[in-house]
Structure 1
Amino acid sequence: MVNIGWRTRRIGQTVFTLWVVLTLTFALVRLLPGNPMGAMVQQLIQQGVNPARARHLVELRLSVDPNKPIPYAYLDYMGNMLQGNLGISMYYSEPVVDIIARSLPWTLFVLSWSLFISFFMGVIIGALMAYWEGSKLDVGLTSWAILMGSTPYYVLALLLLIFFAYRWGIFPTSGRQPTGVAPGFSWAYISGILRHAALPVLSMLVASGVASLGMRGNSIRVLGENYLRVARLRGLSDITISTQYVARNAVLPMYTAFLISLGEMFGGSVVLEQVFSYRGLGWYMLSATYQRDYPLMMGMFTILTVAVVLALLIADLTYSFVDPRAGGQTNETY
C-alpha cells in the first residue's frame, strides 16, 4: 500500500507539472505583453490579409479565440491540447501534430542509438577503470572520459562533418535518407538511413565519457563486497568479474540518469540536427524560431517537455523493479 500511495503521488506530481507547462504556454499566447498572437496578426496584415480575417486565422492556428474572456479561452485551449490539437503551422500551413508525427521518429531513431551506445560504452569502460584502479589503463581511460565529457557535442559534430563528410566523403553531408531510392525494406534504403544517421549518433557519444566516470565511482564502491572475493576464489577471470559482477551491480544507480539523459539529448538535437540538416524534431523547432512560427514552436516545446517529464516518471516508477533493494528501502523509510 505504501508503494501504491507513493506512485499515485508521483503520477499526480507529473500531471501537475504538465498542467503548469500548458498553462504557461497559454500565457505566452494570450497574456504576456507583446504576445505572439498580436505579432502573428500583424504579420498577416503586412502580407495583405484583412485584419478581421487575420485574427480569425490566428485563432484557428493557435487554438485560442482572442474574442473570448480569458477563462473560457483557457478552457477551450486546454481542451484542444488534451485532444492533441496543437494548432496549425503558419509557415508550413499544416497541423503541428502532423509535422511532429513526421519528424519525431527520425529524432527518436538517432537518440535511441546514441543513448544505448553511450550507456553501454560507459558501463563497460567504467567497470574496467574501477577494476584496474590506479593502473595505466585506468589513467588512460579516465583521461579519455574527461576529454569526451568536457567536449560539447556540437564541436564534435562539426569535426566529424568536416573530416568524415566533406573531406573524406565517407558519410553524407546532410539529409536523413538516401536520395533516388524508394522508401522500403530494401538494403539500399536501410543502409542509406544508417549512413545519414551515423555522424549524428557519433556526435552524441560524448555522453559516454560522463557515463564512464559515473560508472567508475559506483564500481569502486561495489569492489569491496564479499561476493567479489568469492568470485576470485572460484578462479574467475578479471574480465568476467569486472563485467558480470561489478558492472551488473554498479549499473543500477545509473538507471535514473540513463532516462534523464534522454531529455538532455532531446535538447541537444535542436542544434545537432541543424548542423547535419537532419530533419527531425530539433530541426523543425529551430526552423520555427527563425520563421516566427509560434504554433509550431509551442507545439515542439510542449512535446519536448512532455518527453522529459514522462522519462523522469518512468525512472521513478520502475526503479524498484530494476533494483529490488530500492523497494525494500522505500518501505523502511515510509
Structure 2
Amino acid sequence: MANTRYFLSRVAQALITFISVLTLTFALIRLMPGGPAALIRAQLETSGQSFTEEEINNQVELYTQINPETPIPQAYVEYVTSVLTGNLGESIWYSRSVMEILADAMPWTIFLSAVSLLFIYAIGVALGAAMAYVEGSKFDFSSSLVSVVITSVPFYVIAIILLWFGGYEWGLFPTGGRVSQDVAPGLTIGFIGSILYHAAMPLAALIIAGFGGRALAMRGNSIQVLGNDYLRVARLRGLSERRISLKYVGRNAILPMYTSIMISIGSLFGGSIILEQIFSYPGAGYYVLNALNARDYPLLMGGFLFITLGVVVGVFIADLTYGLVDPRTGSGADRESF
C-alpha cells in the first residue's frame, strides 16, 4: 500500500509540473505583449500582401495552435489538447512540423546526456573513493587540485578548447553533425562507430567538466564514512577490506550523491542548448537556439516543452529508483514517517 501511495504521489508531482509548464507556455504565447501570436500577426500585416482578418487568425492558429478569437479558457483547453496529441504547430523557419523536428532531435540530446551522466558518476565515484582511501597523499592532493580546477571551468569553455584543437588544429574529430552522410543507418558497426565518433568531443566536454565535482563529493562522503566506528567493528570481525570498501564505505558514501543526479539531469538538458550549438550537433538544444535566433516561436516553445518533459521524466525515474540504492526509502514510508 505504501509503495502504491508513494508511486502515485510521484506521478502526480510529475504531471503537475508538466501541466504548469504547459500553462506557462500558453501564457507566453497568448498573453505576453509582443509574444509569438503578436509577432506572426505583425509579420503578416507588414508583408505587403492582402490578408483578411480571418486569414491572419488562421495563420496565427497554424503556427501557435491558438486562435486569437477564441476565449482564453477554451483556447487553453484546445492548446493543452493539441500538445497532448502531439500537435505543436509548424516551424516558421524550417516549414516543418515542430513535433517532427523535435522527435528526430530529442533522442540525440538524450544520448549525449545519458552517456555523459553515466561516465561522470562512474569516474567521479571511483576517483573520489580512491582519493579518500589515501587521504593526505600526493595522489589525493593532485587529484583534488585537478578536480577543483576543472569544476571551476564552465563546460562551454572546455567545449571550445576541444573543438579548436581536436577539430580544427589537429583534425582528429568532425566539427559538426551527428553521423557521417555516407554511412547507411542501421545497427551496424560502421553506423554506431560514426555516431560515437561525432559525439566524442561533446561527450568529452561534458565529462571533463562534470566528473571533478562528483569526485570531490565522493571523497568527502567516503572520508566521513571511513571515520565511523562500525568499520572498526567490521575489521575486528575479520571481514575483508574489499568487502568493507564495497559494501560499507562505497554504498554509504554514494547514497547522498544519488539525489544530485536529479539536478544533473536538468543541468545537462539545459546545457545542451549551448553545447550542441558549439559542436553543430543537431539535437533539441541546437534547434531551440536556432529557433530563438530566428524568432521561430512555435519551435522554441516546442523545444522548451520537450526539454522540460525530458527533465521531468529523468527526475521521476531517479526518484523512483532511489529505493534500489537505499531500500530503506524504497516505498517512501520512511520519508513520510519523519
| Native 8 Å contact 1:107 1:269 kept in 2 | yes
CA-CA distance at 1:55 after TM superposition: 2.6
What is aligned with 1:258?
261
Q: Matched residues in 2 for 1:303 and 1:58: separation?
A: 22
Q: Residue deviations 1:182-219, cap 9 Å, x none?
A: 22333333222211100000000111111111111221
What is aligned with 1:137?
139
Q: Matched residues in 2 for 1:331 and 1:192: separation?
A: 46
* Letter of the 2:13 counterpart: Q
Q: Relative to structure 2, which stretch is displaced further, 270-279 or 259-268?
A: 259-268
| Structure 2 unaligned regions, length at least 5 | none
What is aligned with 2:337?
333
Q: Residue deviations 1:135-160, cap 9 Å, x none?
A: 21111111111112111000000111
* Letter of the 2:285 counterpart: G
What TM-score comes out, normalization by structure 1 length? 0.92
What is aligned with 1:76?
78
1:291 aligns with 2:294: yes
What is aligned with 1:188?
190
CA-CA distance at 1:42 after TM superposition: 1.6
| Native 8 Å contact 1:22 1:78 kept in 2 | yes
Q: Matched residues in 2 for 1:2 and 1:241: separation?
A: 32
Q: Matched residues in 1 for 2:43 and 2:304: separation?
A: 22
Q: Matched residues in 1 for 2:75 and 2:133: separation?
A: 61
Where do 4+ consecutive residues of structure 1 move more than 6 Å? none
CA-CA distance at 1:227 after TM superposition: 5.4
Change (3 A) 1:261 1:133: same
| Native 8 Å contact 1:3 1:331 kept in 2 | no
| Structure 1 unaligned regions, length at least 5 | none
1:317 aligns with 2:320: yes
CA-CA distance at 1:331 after TM superposition: 6.0
Specify which of 236, 251, 270 is matched with residue 248 of structure 1. Answer: 251
Q: Residue deviations 1:113-134, cap 9 Å, x none?
A: 1110111001101111111122
Specify which of 197, 205, 221 is matched with residue 224 of structure 2. Answer: 221
1:269 aligns with 2:260: no
Written as runs of structure 1 = structure 2, the 5 A alignment for 1:77-226 is 77-205=79-207, 206-226=209-229
Q: Relative to structure 2, which stretch is displaced further, 269-278 or 49-58?
A: 49-58
Q: Relative to structure 2, which stretch is displaced further, 316-325 or 213-222?
A: 316-325
> Alpha carbon RMSD of aligned pairs, Å?
2.2
SS at match of 1:172: coil
Q: Relative to structure 2, which stretch is displaced further, 210-219 or 317-326?
A: 317-326
Q: Matched residues in 1 for 2:87 and 2:6: separation?
A: 32
CA-CA distance at 1:329 after TM superposition: 7.0
Change (3 A) 1:307 1:46: same
Q: Matched residues in 1 for 2:194 and 2:152: separation?
A: 31
CA-CA distance at 1:236 after TM superposition: 4.2
Number of residues of Structure 1 aligned to a counterpart in Structure 2: 333
Percent identity of equivalent pairs: 48
1:58 aligns with 2:60: yes
Q: Matched residues in 2 for 1:235 and 1:8: separation?
A: 41
Q: Matched residues in 2 for 1:91 and 1:304: separation?
A: 20
| Native 8 Å contact 1:260 1:311 kept in 2 | no
Q: Relative to structure 2, which stretch is displaced further, 3-12 or 286-295?
A: 3-12
Q: Residue deviations 1:226-270, cap 9 Å, x none?
A: 554366564846x77545652233112222212331121011110
Q: Relative to structure 2, which stretch is displaced further, 269-278 or 14-23?
A: 14-23
